[in-house]
Amino acid sequence: MALKAHQRGELLGVFLLLASTAAQMFYLEPLKREIEWRLVTFQIQQTGQVQIRSLYDTQIAMLQSVNAAPERIKAIEADRDKTVAKFTTADANISDYLIEKQRVEEYIQYAVIALFALGILLTALGRANEMRSAGRRE
């Protein structure tokens, strides 16, 4: 049994619908979840950074209030700066990753929408041609 052109188009349309659904389920949704997880991690990290900074500032204020040696205060300030620098590097890494992945996610969303629209169009045209040719036979 040979398939007519509109039947092949309909099959291609169904295939494109399945492809768009598969791309949505197996790539786009996991990518969205990963981006959300990294955003949560970024927010937790920001909170940790504020807390660490506050702890060091409190320690420095206490040392200053008891007239501790200036070398001890400078050592604590150096530790604070070194610790905060680690957070800053991690902040940059997370933001770079998110910017890159969100752009990829946007492109994939466009591809999924295009596949879905083309699949619906081909399937609908195939069905319409099938119904029209069935009406001619009667």
Residues 6 or more apart whose Cβ sits within 8 Å of residue 96 = none
pLDDT computed for residue 86 by the predictor: 79
Q: Does 79 score more than 70 pLDDT?
A: yes
Q: What is the mean pLDDT of residues 9-27?
A: 87
pLDDT band at residue 132 using 50, 70 and 90 as cut-offs: confident
Q: What is the residue extent of each domain of the chain?
A: 30-118
Residues 6 or more apart whose Cβ sits within 8 Å of residue 20 = 112, 113, 115, 116, 119
- Residue, of 59 and 95, whose pLDDT is higher: 59
